[in-house]
């Protein structure tokens, strides 16, 4: 039985190694040249795989970008959630800002790649597996924001879910709009913070 399983194990290890090479190549080339300046053939060449092999892992350059950005997005959410927990007790605004800060910085690390990533998640095929994973991450971010808002005694669970969707829309607009392309991360984050503050203020006034 053991001998029967060994070849399967080797094949899986080989597939994993190829996937890692492809991911590393795509990550490096997208960082160096931006998504518009890279071809799938260049990624395959740097990963030392045939173009047909690359297409077994991702059928388009957009899917490769999503694969790469999903990893960055997930890591940013992890950092943000940890920072938000450290800021709990400072009202609703500060923990939410702490959560979204690394996310905004991630999306703006390479602005073209971040904008393209969000565009692909919103307008691409939601049934495509990598987009599904990206949308699940977006949902995780939204749930994190909603969970922080429900800790505020003036915000109910239903309102928190709606406000979380509004806040993620604010993030999307401020990280993709052409008018913001040449602004610093701090300036963009300051605008986002002001917009979230204005969004939350009516709930505290009503209370």
**65-85 confidence digits (pLDDT tens):** 999 999 999 999 999 999 999
Which pLDDT band, with edges at 50, 70 and 90, does 12 fall under?
confident
**Residue 125 backbone zone (phi > 0: left; psi -120 to 50: alpha; other: beta):** beta
CB atoms within 10 A of CB 107: 26
Q: Could you tell me the pTM of the whole model?
A: 0.89
What are the C-alpha distances in Å from 119 to residues 24, 68, 86?
Answer: 23, 15, 32
**104-163 confidence digits (pLDDT tens):** 999 999 999 999 999 999 999 999 999 999 999 999 999 999 999 999 988 999 999 999
**34-63 confidence digits (pLDDT tens):** 999 999 999 999 999 999 999 999 999 999
Q: Name the residue among 140, 137, 135 with its Cα closest to residue 124.
A: 135
**88-111 confidence digits (pLDDT tens):** 888 899 999 999 999 999 999 999
Helix (H/G/I), strand (E/B), else coil: 59: coil
Secondary structure element (H or E) that encloses residue 183, with its range: none
What is the model's pLDDT at position 72?
97
């Amino acid at each position: 039985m053991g001998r029967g399983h060994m070849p399967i194990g080797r094949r899986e290890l080989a597939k994993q190694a190829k996937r890692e090479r492809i991911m590393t190549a795509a990550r490096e080339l997208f960082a160096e040249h931006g998504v518009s300046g890279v071809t799938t053939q260049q990624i395959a060449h740097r990963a030392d795989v045939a173009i047909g092999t690359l297409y077994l892992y991702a059928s388009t350059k957009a899917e490769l970008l999503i694969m790469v950005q999903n990893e960055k997005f997930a890591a940013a959410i992890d950092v943000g959630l940890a920072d938000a927990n450290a800021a709990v007790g400072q009202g609703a605004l500060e923990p939410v800002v702490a959560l979204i800060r690394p996310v905004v910085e991630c999306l703006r690390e390479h602005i073209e790649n971040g904008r393209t990533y969000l565009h692909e998640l919103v307008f691409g095929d939601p049934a495509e597996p990598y987009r599904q994973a990206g949308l699940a991450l977006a949902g995780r971010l939204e749930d994190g924001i909603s969970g922080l808002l429900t800790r505020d005694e003036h915000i109910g669970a239903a309102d928190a879910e709606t406000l979380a969707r509004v806040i993620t829309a604010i993030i999307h607009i401020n990280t993709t709009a052409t008018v913001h392309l040449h602004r610093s991360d701090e300036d963009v984050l300051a605008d986002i913070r002001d917009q979230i503050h204005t969004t939350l203020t009516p709930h505290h006034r009503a209370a």
